[in-house]
Amino acid sequence: MRKTERHFVEDGPNALRQIYRTVSPWKGVKNFVFIQIARYCPILEMKNWIYRHMLRMKVGPDTAFGLMVMVDVFFPEKISIGRNTVIGYNTTILAHEYLIREYRLGNVVIGDEVMIGANTTILPGVTIGDGAVVAAGSVVYRDVEPGTFVGGNPLRVIERKTP
């Protein structure tokens, strides 16, 4: 099971319709603008500066985000990425889930020298260990051990590096 905090919504419409009880709409607007700039920006250091300083994400040195990466709009500060990691084209990294009667928040921790393939979705509350490789098009819904090559939906181990 992923490491998420569960918050229940008992009255009124679904949890997503009540989002602004959870997070300021102005935070959402500001983050959305900076995320869109970073998504299209071809300058890697400028992207990292935006993620670190405008969105308060933890991003290690030499990490590279491909074009069109979408990080969590409402809780980017819950995302931590190590050094020399590559986040592939059009990957989505979520730190929240809004459901009907609850919402969940969870930190996403991506280690050092990790390779995330294009069009991958990373869900809240997961840790991807150092040196792991995630195949393109995967849905990461559980932790990935260091040095492991995983892929698919459902996620499965393809290969483990021996120490």
CB 55 within 8 A of CB 35: yes
pLDDT at 160: 87
Whole-angstrom Cα distance, residue 12 to residue 148?
43
Residue type, 2: R
Q: Tell me what pLDDT residue 161 has.
A: 78
Name which CATH class applies to 5-152: mainly beta
Q: What is the pLDDT of residue 99?
A: 94
Domain boundaries, the chain: 5-152
Two tokens, residue 45: 């250091």
Please state, in angstroms and rounded to a whole number, the distance separating the CA atoms of residues 139 and 34: 25
Q: For each successive 10 residues of the chain (163 residues), what is the average pLDDT?
A: 89 92 94 98 97 98 98 98 98 96 97 98 98 98 97 94 66
Q: What is the pTM of this model?
A: 0.95
CB proximity list for 115: less than 8 A, separation 6 or greater:
85, 86, 88, 132, 133, 134
